[in-house]
Amino acid sequence: MANPVDLLIQEHEVITKALNNVLNLKELIQSDSKKFQTELNSYIHFFRNYADNFHHQKEERILFVQMNDKQNHLSDGIIKEMYDNHIVFREMLAEIEKLNNESKFDEAYIAFEEYYNALLDHIAVEDFEIFQIALSIFSKEELDKLSFQFDDNDRNLGLDNKKSMEDMVN
């Protein structure tokens, strides 16, 4: 059985690649603003669906809940911070989308840079703190159970949909 932490880290790698792809769109603001708008909207769709629905759902509904059950002191500290970050990321994406749809491309890009930096910081905390805590508090059997639950989550959301979003980024 695959380690559930490895899956989350692999998803972080896909998300990071998508973040970097968007940074590379900056030149389009001046040369082809319509293409910039279309590309940015497709990445906003990616972040909402892949990063939030597939990835954050596994964290919020499965991993964090079980970590809190195992060690409830985590719920008021670093786990709460991660939940709060997810809420802020949703708000940031909505603002980026609004600016982009209003053809305020420079402002949308600046807002995206803030999202980029915040999400990369968040990913680092999860990779080097949260996931390491998870590995230390769960037994092999509990990790296997998490893997099955992660697989069920992805199947329910659509494996083909997830794969097509990963392909979009690569």
pLDDT, one tens digit per residue, over 113-156 is 999 999 999 999 999 999 999 999 999 999 999 999 999 999 99
| Structural domain harbouring 165 | 4-169
Is 150 in contact with 55 (CB distance < 8 Å)?
no
Whether the predicted pLDDT of 1 surpasses 80 = no
Contact 111, 99 (CB under 8 A): yes
As for how many domains the chain has, the answer is 1
Q: What is the pLDDT of residue 73?
A: 80
Cα 75 from Cα 25, distance rounded (Å): 38
What CATH number is associated with residue 90?
1.20.120.520
Q: Flag whether pLDDT at 67 surpasses 80.
A: yes
